[in-house]
Amino acid sequence: MAEEGKSYTIHKSKKSQSDRFMEARESLRRALESTSHRLEKVAAIDDVEFVSDTRSTDLLSTRDTFKCVLRPIVWIAGTTSHERDYSLLEKYVKYKVKNIILYGGNGEDMRQKLDGYVDSFHIEDGLEAAVALAFEKSSPGDAVIYSPSCAAVDDFLDFSDRGSAFKRIVKQLEQA
């Protein structure tokens, strides 16, 4: 049987794996941004974007946030006394996060698991000091993401109170 006369077509309706990935990330980003205190842009100072993600009260929520952010990340996280599986974040921390700034107490377990993936790892006493250090460590084009990855057991009532405090601190930084 001769192969002549047969034609082959490429189905344009088929999407590449990268197209599907980009659409999935965009869909996730839209869903997160439509939820209060998730991927909420607070301000941009010297081309550093400050984002409140205080509704992220666990590592999986923070991982979803990292998936959606295209800029290099300076991550402000909270501490918790609970054991956490940081392997859920390792790939994203390694390739997207430049610096980690932990606030609110002992974070040696997190330091042991993630310090080798970032340029620097710092522990600060409070949120205000953490935000100031995050801005100092950031470069134009970066995003400072406040994604605590833990329940509000610090000085705040809940994620909303935490988000309001972050916004207030960033506004003060913006006016300085």
Phi, psi of 68 (to 5 degrees): -90, -20
Q: Where are the domains of the chain?
A: 37-175
- CATH of 37-175 among 3.90.190.20, 3.40.50.970, 1.10.3720.10, 3.40.50.1110: 3.90.190.20
Per residue in 12-57, pLDDT (tens digit) is 555 677 777 677 767 766 766 656 678 899 999 999 999 999 988 8
Residues 51, 69 contacting (CB under 8 angstroms): yes
pTM (2 decimals)? 0.80
> What does the pLDDT look like over 155-174, one tens digit per residue?
788 888 899 999 999 999 99
